[in-house]
Structure 1
Amino acid sequence: MREGLAELLLGGAAAMLSFVANMTFVSISYAVAAVRFENADAKEKAQLSKFELRLIEKSKKVGIFAALGARFFLMVATFAFVCASYGVLKLCDAEMGSNTALKIVAFSILITLFLQYIFCDLPSACFASQEPVKTIKRHSKFFSIFYYAVFPFEIVARKVSEKFFGKRISEDDASFDHIDVLVKLRTEEEEGDELSPYAKKIVRNSIRLNELEISDVMIPRNQVQFFDISDTVSENLKIAAKYGHTRYPICDGNLDNCLGIVRIKDIFRVLENGEEVDLMKIKRGIVKVKYEEPLIDALKKLRRNELHMAVVEDEFGGIIGVLTLDGILEEIVGKIKDDIIDLSNAISKIGKNTYKVAGLAAIHNVEDFLNVDFDNDEVSTFGGLITNILGRFPEEGEKIQIMSPRMNITVEKVGLRKIDECKIELLSQSGEEEK
């Protein structure tokens, strides 16, 4: 009898302490993410100590150790409920067989998860998101104790995992960034309007940047146009007139001898002042990146150096292409058309669920206007989308039905190898025109 009471009290106390500890890890994860998303102003951040500010800077480590702590104390709470349940049975003089033990374990797992979610996860996440600075100050000491106690275990576990899965498993650069993004998305969903399909597509593509390398986005060497220092300015300007880019690498003979980047508007500025153009005087610096580098790291380098272009090296130092800021942006928003054309009336509503769309209308503008997602990153214009779907150039008056999103498209006007105008009828999921 006394033994059962002791098990009940000890188990209950251990479960309560485990829940309190778990609240610390849930709270500090959400609080650090909230501060990183600037939910705290500079005045509030000034209240934090150096150690607490370092927690925010090392947020990916916080994510790792918070996850370890939450799992550990969840197991402790489950074991504590098993002990408390045995104590209750002993107090009731109930028979305890093997089936009883299995039922107790199953019950303890379920009740632990249920109580953890209700009394720890939900309130902790809510308070931490609203009061991130207070949360960090309240829980940082306990978290730091756990951090230093578990640090050796984490190192050993990572080394063992590395043996089985290779060295990439030890690279934790993006571990917490995903948590940050998910927390932000959840906040936006709770506080704002529902995102449009095109906005959701941008968010998905932004998250996908973590998975891309420079080689996935770069312009290959054989497609790169550059200015040659040995050519005259007029010869180099002919290249600019032909290809229409705003920036060109300036090289001595070939791309391996890249000396910098020249902007077209800098050339025009010199010409406007009546001065002689010296490409070496107006060139800007160049950043070199390795082709196997993560794309997100290259983006940081471009931003840090305030550049729009970098040359890409292979493992031997040879130049195999260039990376542009526009190329990275296209991975997020889709293909961007360079042509400067007045498309102010490219999309217009002409009836109920019926729209007129210019062939040169940008895909992302059509998606945003119609609140749809074509799920096609290979083309930049609506006319290009139609040609891509058909696999050929369409005829005037040709009708096309696509299933995702459901719509009927009529090609109303075509020009010389280009689609001028189309009509779109949006359909419901059943295939009929929406009412």
Structure 2
Amino acid sequence: MLRNGRNGSNIRETFEELIEQHEEREQPINDRERALLEKVLTIGDLTVNDVMVTRADIIAVEQRVPLKEIVKLMAAEAHSRLPVYRGTLDDAIGMVHIKDVFAATTRETNKKLSDIIRSVLYVAPSIRVLDLLLQMRVARTHMALVVDEYGGIGGLATIEDLVEQIVGEIEDEHDVDEGPLLRAADDNTVLADARVTLEEFEAKVGPFLSEEDREEDIDTLGGLVFSIVGRVPVRGEIIRHENSGVEFEIREADPRRIRRMKVTNLGDRRLIDG
């Protein structure tokens, strides 16, 4: 982690020297990698106050709101997570995840919103973006509420907001339409974009997740593969989902994320078009 202070400038200088030295090798850093490294260097002092969603723009729900209303709100706002509060936003008590809402509404349960609330982090606006990313990883949560000097809620930050500060502008420059997220191949395999949601994959190919998988805070196929191995796998690597036997052959990946994969060993599962 890069920090300013007595050693901060030395760390920055060392990092920049390493980049320059690497340029002299047979395989120099490409423009994309250089842009990412330079972006990391520039956010050392960036705080959550610089990137958070302000209080006025927070979409949240009161704990007594019926689950069916939350489904409608999530669909309208295109959010998979919402803060939950008691009475007023300043008494925020956690967040709700779309997976838990769907599970509670599609099964015959008597669960209320208060039964499926997940914890969030509460942080000061002065916390650095990189420090908050680390805290989120340790706490295994994707949302933090920013508390102002009076103890009220001043803003909100998601892990997507923080990561966007590092890779967002770079990704936008290379944002192209790569076709459908799922495509049938021969020999009963499926070519999948890592961004496809687990919900869509199971709806079009067939269920394969365990109950433990469903309890995890994972949204996409790429996120599932990452959670299995705990890192970004390399091209050509085959990752096995132990519960189902389904295998994921990595077809395209970079050091930061999985892009495309071939899903094999599907058994009786088939991709349904449409």
SS at match of 2:79: coil
Change (3 A) 1:185 1:227: same
Letter matched to residue 330 of structure 1:
E
Assess if the C-alpha contact under 8 Å between 2:47 and 2:125 holds in 1.
yes
> Which structure has more strand as a fraction of its residues?
2
The answer for the alignment partner of 1:232 in structure 2 is 66
Alignment of 1:81-96 (within 5 A): none
The answer for the alignment partner of 2:164 in structure 1 is 330
SS at match of 1:300: helix
The answer for the alignment partner of 1:251 in structure 2 is 85
Deviation of residue 176 (structure 1)? 5.2
Whichever of the two has the greater Rg, that structure is: 1
Among 94, 116, 127, which residue is 1:282 paired with? Answer: 116
SS at match of 2:94: strand
My pick for the range that moved more, 205-214 or 275-284, is 275-284
Change (3 A) 1:197 1:271: same
The answer for the alignment partner of 1:8 in structure 2 is none
Assess if the C-alpha contact under 8 Å between 1:224 and 1:321 holds in 2.
yes
Instruction: Tell me the distance in 1 between the aligned counterparts of 2:144 and 2:125.
Output: 11
Deviation of residue 185 (structure 1)? 2.7
Assess if the C-alpha contact under 8 Å between 2:66 and 2:112 holds in 1.
no
Q: TM-score, normalised by structure 1?
A: 0.36
- How many pairs were matched up? 176
Among 289, 296, 305, which residue is 2:130 paired with? Answer: 296
Structure 1: 5+ residue stretches without partners: 1-35, 37-58, 61-168, 347-435
Assess if the C-alpha contact under 8 Å between 2:89 and 2:153 holds in 1.
yes
Structure 2: 5+ residue stretches without partners: 181-274
Q: TM-score, normalised by structure 2?
A: 0.56
Instruction: Tell me the distance in 1 between the aligned counterparts of 2:88 and 2:170.
Output: 28
Instruction: Tell me the distance in 1 between the aligned counterparts of 2:177 and 2:20.
Output: 35
Instruction: Tell me the distance in 1 between the aligned counterparts of 2:63 and 2:45.
Output: 37
Assess if the C-alpha contact under 8 Å between 2:35 and 2:170 holds in 1.
no
The answer for the alignment partner of 1:189 in structure 2 is 23
The answer for the alignment partner of 1:309 in structure 2 is 143
Q: Comparing both chains, which one has the higher relative contact order based on Cα–Cα distances under 8 Å and sequence gaps of 6 or more?
A: 2
Letter matched to residue 269 of structure 1:
A
The answer for the alignment partner of 1:211 in structure 2 is 45
Change (3 A) 1:225 1:183: same
Do residues 261 (structure 1) and 66 (structure 2) align?
A: no
SS at match of 1:323: strand
Change (3 A) 1:265 1:324: same
Q: Deviations over 1:148-191 (max 9, x none)?
A: xxxxxxxxxxxxxxxxxxxxx8x447455425633553464345
Runs ≥4 residues deviating over 6 A: none
